[in-house]
Amino acid sequence: MFICHGNICRSPMAEFILKDMVKKRGIADDFVIESSATSTEEIWGDVGNPVYPPAQRELASHGISCGDKRAVQLTKSDYARYDYLLCMDKMNLRNAQRILGTDKDNKLRMLLSFADGGSIADPWYCGNFDRTYSDIVRGCEGFLEYLGY
């Protein structure tokens, strides 16, 4: 599970980047890959907003579609469903901990902890969707290497 603030930029980009990577490697059946938000800002009633158009365009420029993905919020029950809950920045990590409670199995991590560390900048604010894409790819490659793929 990839986690960011609104689930319209970074975490869905990571979801579909990793889905593309594992499909191309022929290992997609080994994974359940989703994304979610720590906030409800992009969810109205029970309907989440779609992936932000500039994020969709960045993915599309690399041949990746995000289909009809809509924002959803992280839930406490997600902790039992996923082996890894990968956050984009420290605030996402803190907010995910608030939602999930105790991380007794050490599942909550920063995505870039599998690469060179640090946070993935939010392109909603910085406008750098290409850099976000590159950072996510680096994190996902490191994650797959960590898992032995």
Active site annotation includes 138? no
Active site annotation includes 10? yes
For residues 33 and 25, the answer to whether their CB atoms sit within 8 Å is no
User: Pick the catalytic residue: 20, 78, 89, 122?
Assistant: 122
User: Pick the catalytic residue: 9, 10, 20, 89?
Assistant: 10
- Between helix 10-24 and helix 53-60 the angle, nearest 10°, is 20
The Cβ-side half-sphere exposure at 38, using a 13 Å CA radius, reads 22
Active site annotation includes 122? yes
| Distance of alpha carbon 91 from alpha carbon 33, whole angstroms | 22
Report the 3 state secondary structure along 55-86.
HHHHHHCCCCCCCCCECCECCCCHHHHCCCEE
Token pair recorded at residue 22: 């594992």
Residues designated as active site: 4, 10, 122
